[in-house]
Amino acid sequence: MIEQMDESSWIAGQAVPPLGRGMHFQIATTDLADLYETCKAKGTAIFRNWEEAWYRADDHYVGQVQFIVRDPDGYLLRFEQGLGQCKAPKTGRIVG
């Protein structure tokens, strides 16, 4: 859960911005294109623009289209929509 902090929040330590400090959350969606356009239209701070990315998983790659926003507290939120698996991706950013 991502919660806006106020006087009733459970705080385990000193909360010094940016609170995210390298932590990010991946959130799957079924309509990434619409979400991306909505974020841009609302002026959301895009941290990493729309991209296709393939991540190594043992002997294959798992693909997704994704973009990342930074919320007001500094947390990175990566929204993604899966592309499936393949042995050798031919497009996009290849990781691993």
Token digits of residue 58: 């043992």
79 in a structural domain = yes
One-letter amino acid for residue 81 of the chain: Q
Beta bridge partner(s), residue 24: 76
CATH number for the domain harbouring residue 50: 3.10.180.10
Q: What confidence tens digit (pLDDT) does each residue in 7-65 have?
A: 777 777 777 776 666 677 899 999 999 999 999 999 998 999 999 999 999 999 999 99
- Domain of residue 67 covers 24-89
Dist. CA 47–CA 70, nearest whole Å: 6
Residue 87 in this model has a pLDDT that exceeds 80? yes
Domain count, the chain: 1
Rounded to two decimals, the pTM is 0.79
